[in-house]
Amino acid sequence: MPAGDKVIVYDDGNCAFCQWSEAWVKRFDRDNRIEFRSYHDPAVRSETPFSLDELHERMHVRATDGRWRSGFFGWMAILNELPRFRWLSRILSLPPLRWLGPALYMAVARNRYHIPRFLLRWLGAPPPCDSQCALPEVH
């Protein structure tokens, strides 16, 4: 994949927690270096080499060098593009955080539609999806 001038994030555009995460990133992306795309759009999905199941399982990020990163390491690529948070990306790359981060990311990703309301309020995030959210059909 050729390099680009933006980091492209392929995430679950139907997820309230993902939407909140996107809004959080955009607050600090002063240079407009990060673009979010929902994998629920078939045209967007076709831009990736991943199946719908893989996209639903975790966020995927195409870095400016054209390489793909996902999950925890995708977040590290995002943080690296935000000058205010580069230090955090460096810290997260150190053991034991580098080893624990992927498991923590997956725990949140698997439960993103069911994160307890008190935790979301504490983080400043919206409430979890309810019956009005469209859960994706994963085959």
The answer to whether position 136 is within a domain reads no
Alpha carbon of 134 to those of 12, 14, 40, 60, 137: distances in Å?
11, 6, 10, 20, 9
In the DSSP assignment, the letter for residue 83 is G
Count of domains in the chain? 1
pLDDT mean over 32-51? 96
Split at pLDDT 50, 70, 90, the class of 33 is very high
Query: Considering the domain boundaries, does residue 135 fall inside one?
Result: no
In this predicted structure, the answer to whether residue 131 has a pLDDT above a threshold of 50 is no
Task: Tell me what the mean pLDDT of segment 55-77 comes to.
Answer: 96
Within-domain flag for 134: no
- Virtual torsion, Cα 18, 23, 27, 31, nearest 10 deg: 80
Q: Please name which of 89, 126, 97 lies closest in space to residue 14, comparing C-alpha atoms.
A: 126
**Tens digit of each residue's pLDDT (9 = 90 or more) over 2-21:** 557 999 999 999 887 888 89
Instruction: Map residue 62 onto helix, strand or coil.
Output: strand
Domain membership flag for residue 73: yes
Bridge pairing between strands 68-70 and 34-38: unpaired
pTM of the model: 0.82
**139 domain residue, yes or no:** no
Sign, CA dihedral 102-103-104-110, equals positive
pLDDT at residue 113, rounded to an integer = 77
In a domain, 138, yes or no: no
Range of the domain at 53: 7-123
**pLDDT per position as a tens digit, 75-129:** 999 999 999 999 999 999 999 999 999 999 998 888 887 766 666 667 676 655 5
Please name the amino acid found at residue 15. C
Tokens of 136: 């994706």
Residue 94 lies in a domain: yes
Q: Which residue in this structure is represented by tokens 């859960």?
A: 135
pLDDT given for residue 135 in this prediction: 45
pLDDT at 1: 45
- Residue 67 in any domain: the answer is yes
